[in-house]
Structure 1
Amino acid sequence: MTTYGFHASHEQIAPSALLKDLRAAEQAGFAMAMCSDHFFPWSERQGHSGFTWSWLGAALATTSLRIGCVNAPGQRYHPTVVAQATATLGEMFPGRHWVALGTGQAMNEHITGDPWPAKHVRRRRLDECVDVIRRLHAGEEVDHDGLVRVSQARLYDLPAEPVPLLAAAISATTAAHVARWADGLITINQPVDTLREVIASYRDNGGRGPIALQVHLSWAPTEEEATALAVDQWRSNVFAEPLSLDLPTPLHFDIASADVTAETVACAVRISADPARHVAWLREYAELGFDEIYLHHVGQDQRAWIETAATSVLPALED
């Protein structure tokens, strides 16, 4: 049975307000949550980008939800720091935290001043980071000399069970690559045939654990409002690789997306004023075999959507 969660978008909402939204989502019936981990928003219009790890501690302490995040170790975050952060949350909140590891995007990682590597190098760097994190979570003292370097690192506070290390993947190629190390997979809404390929590629290459989907959606009282909201907030997020991975700042994304149409946005965001239409889309995704689906309403004001989800979306999905 598919479980439905709430996506907390740090790029769009101030951390204090986002924490209130999360509590409201729990009261509305969302069973779990996830959040982003950005240094920059996707657009100057979004205008926020709180620090995920500070927020996660508060979110886990003030709700009973299981909460994870997507993270890119290797440049902005040294893998030893990711290992310590996740282990600490896992020790404090047993069984309630996971992290999905990916290769990242230039907009968040270039801030270190280091060069942004080619994709194949980023994949190798992620593999090394996963190995370092797993060894630290196992209580080992770790030395490593490669694309990342580690010297005599060891964690002293570990959870009883290691925090699950999921993989973030959009393409079938990436899903196949990460299948050998991931404890699960998370991807984003795409055409149904593409999602089938991603799932099959992960499972056929030995991928284990749950498969999760993050769904971008836009709901408002009218179709016009739902469309306008999606175009305003999410038109910067419609680009394919390498553009989506290599642009360095929100300004670059704003310039690149200036002429993006509502029709193009509708390919990336499920847009409808009808809750039943959203239920139908979500059921279609569930039928593909996703164990967990996280709903991301792309508006900055979440309360009306949370109320609608509580009355017209989540109960219908349970039925």
Structure 2
Amino acid sequence: MVTVGFHASHEQISPAQLLKDVQHAEQAGFDAAMCSDHIEPWSARQGHSGFAWSWLGAALATTNLRFGVVTAPGQRYHPAIIAHASATLASMFPDRFWFAPGSGENMNEHITGDGWPAKDIRQRRLEECVEVIRRLHRGEEVTHRGLVTVEQARIWDVPDSPPPLIAPAVSVDTARRAAAWADGLVTVNQPPEKLRDMLSAYRDNGGRGKAVLQVHLSWAGSEQEAVAVALDQWRTNTYQPPIPWDLPTAGHFDLVGEHVTEEQVRTTVNISASLEQHAEWLSGYADLGFDELYLHFVGQEQAPFIDAFAAEVLPQLRAPGTTSAGTTAEPQLVASAAEPASGASA
């Protein structure tokens, strides 16, 4: 049976309210949660950016859910700091925490004042960071000199079971390359044929672990309201790379998003007032081979979404003898450019 989780969007909701929302999601019946890790929102209309690592400690301590976070070691975060933070969470909450290290986005990384590297350099830097983090999680003393520098680093409290490192990817090439180091794969809703190709590229090259999908969606009492929510909150997430990787601030994203249309937003957000339609879309994703679905309602008021989906959608996805809603319907979307809402390009 597919795991259905709640996506906690730090860019859109204050940390105190988001903590209440994830507690509500657990009480309503969601299985797990994941969150973004930004210092800059995608839009001034979103208007938030809590520190994910502080919030994760509170969320893990006040729920029984498993949590994941998509993050970016290498520039804003030294890899030893990510290794330290993740080891501490995994030690306190065994087998309840995973993280997805990505190559980063300029909107979060530019704050260091360092230059923004080309994508191929960022990818190599990420792979160095992964090696450093894994060694630190094993309790080694690490000195490393490359695209990142580490001098005699050691973590003294290492978890008995290191947290899984799940690869964030939105392209087939990145999924294929990640198979060499990742403990799983996470991506976002895209056309079924693209998702199949990504899963195949990862698995065929030896990729292990779970396949995770973050699903951007908008639901409301009417189609018009669902569209309005998506346009207001997620229209800055409709562009093909390298735009989402390279723009530096929310103001820049708002400028390029001024004239985005409903049709463009529908390429990255599943928009419908029908809960049955959302259940069919989610069923299609599960049938492609995803083990976990994390639902990201792109509005800022989460309670109505949590209650409605818990009552009407989650039971369909958990129907006995089916992976989800018992339908073979596939998500009818065109090309998606959205990144996992994370601060980590893929």
TM-score, normalisation: structure 1: 0.99
Tell me whether 1:318 sits opposite 2:318 in the alignment: yes
Letter aligned with residue 79 of structure 1: P
Q: Distance in 1 between matches of 2:318 and 2:272?
A: 20
Q: Distance in 2 between matches of 1:200 and 1:2?
A: 19
For residue 297 of structure 1, report the CA deviation from its aligned partner.
Answer: 0.2
Equivalent residues of 2:15, 2:50 under 8 A apart: yes
Partner SS for 1:114: coil
Q: What residue ranges of structure 1 are gaps of 5+ in the alignment?
A: none
Letter aligned with residue 194 of structure 2: T
Tell me whether 1:179 sits opposite 2:170 in the alignment: no
Partner SS for 1:165: coil
For residue 128 of structure 1, report the CA deviation from its aligned partner.
Answer: 0.2
Structure 1: which 4+ aligned runs deviate by more than 3 Å?
Answer: none
Equivalent residues of 1:189, 1:268 under 8 A apart: yes
Q: Match of 2:109?
A: 109
For residue 310 of structure 1, report the CA deviation from its aligned partner.
Answer: 1.3
1:259-280 deviations in Å (ceiling 9; x for gaps):
0000110010000111000000
Letter aligned with residue 118 of structure 1: A
* Percent identity for Structure 1 against Structure 2: 62
Q: Match of 1:201?
A: 201
Letter aligned with residue 169 of structure 2: A
Alignment of 1:268-279 (within 5 A): 268-279=268-279
Q: Distance in 2 between matches of 1:307 and 1:203?
A: 35
For residue 233 of structure 1, report the CA deviation from its aligned partner.
Answer: 0.3
For residue 6 of structure 1, report the CA deviation from its aligned partner.
Answer: 0.2
Alignment of 1:1-319 (within 5 A): 1-319=1-319
Equivalent residues of 2:236, 2:257 under 8 A apart: yes
Partner SS for 1:37: coil
Q: Distance in 2 between matches of 1:93 and 1:28?
A: 22
Q: Match of 2:338?
A: none
Partner SS for 2:166: strand
Equivalent residues of 1:217, 1:269 under 8 A apart: yes
Partner SS for 1:11: coil
Q: Distance in 2 between matches of 1:23 and 1:315?
A: 19
Q: Distance in 1 between matches of 2:165 and 2:287?
A: 25
1:17-62 deviations in Å (ceiling 9; x for gaps):
0000000000111000000000100000000000000000000000
Q: RCO (CA 8 Å, sep 6+): is it higher in 1 or 2?
A: 2
Q: Distance in 1 between matches of 2:162 and 2:229?
A: 40
Equivalent residues of 1:216, 1:268 under 8 A apart: yes
Number of aligned residue pairs: give it.
319
For residue 71 of structure 1, report the CA deviation from its aligned partner.
Answer: 0.6
For residue 158 of structure 1, report the CA deviation from its aligned partner.
Answer: 1.0
Q: Distance in 1 between matches of 2:227 and 2:192?
A: 21
1:188-233 deviations in Å (ceiling 9; x for gaps):
0011111111101101111000000000000000000000000000
Q: Distance in 1 between matches of 2:49 and 2:198?
A: 29
1:51-90 deviations in Å (ceiling 9; x for gaps):
0000000000000000010010000000000000000000
Letter aligned with residue 291 of structure 2: D
Equivalent residues of 1:136, 1:155 under 8 A apart: yes
Equivalent residues of 1:28, 1:309 under 8 A apart: no
Q: What residue ranges of structure 2 are gaps of 5+ in the alignment?
A: 320-346
Equivalent residues of 2:2, 2:317 under 8 A apart: no
Letter aligned with residue 127 of structure 1: E
Letter aligned with residue 285 of structure 1: Y
Letter aligned with residue 52 of structure 1: A
Q: Distance in 2 between matches of 1:181 and 1:311?
A: 38
Letter aligned with residue 116 of structure 2: W
Letter aligned with residue 316 of structure 2: A
For residue 316 of structure 1, report the CA deviation from its aligned partner.
Answer: 1.2
1:84-117 deviations in Å (ceiling 9; x for gaps):
0000000000000000111010000001000000
Q: Distance in 2 between matches of 1:97 and 1:244?
A: 27
Q: Distance in 1 between matches of 2:307 and 2:292?
A: 21
For residue 290 of structure 1, report the CA deviation from its aligned partner.
Answer: 0.1
For residue 2 of structure 1, report the CA deviation from its aligned partner.
Answer: 1.2
1:111-140 deviations in Å (ceiling 9; x for gaps):
100000000000000000000000000110
Q: Distance in 1 between matches of 2:3 and 2:60?
A: 18
Partner SS for 2:25: helix
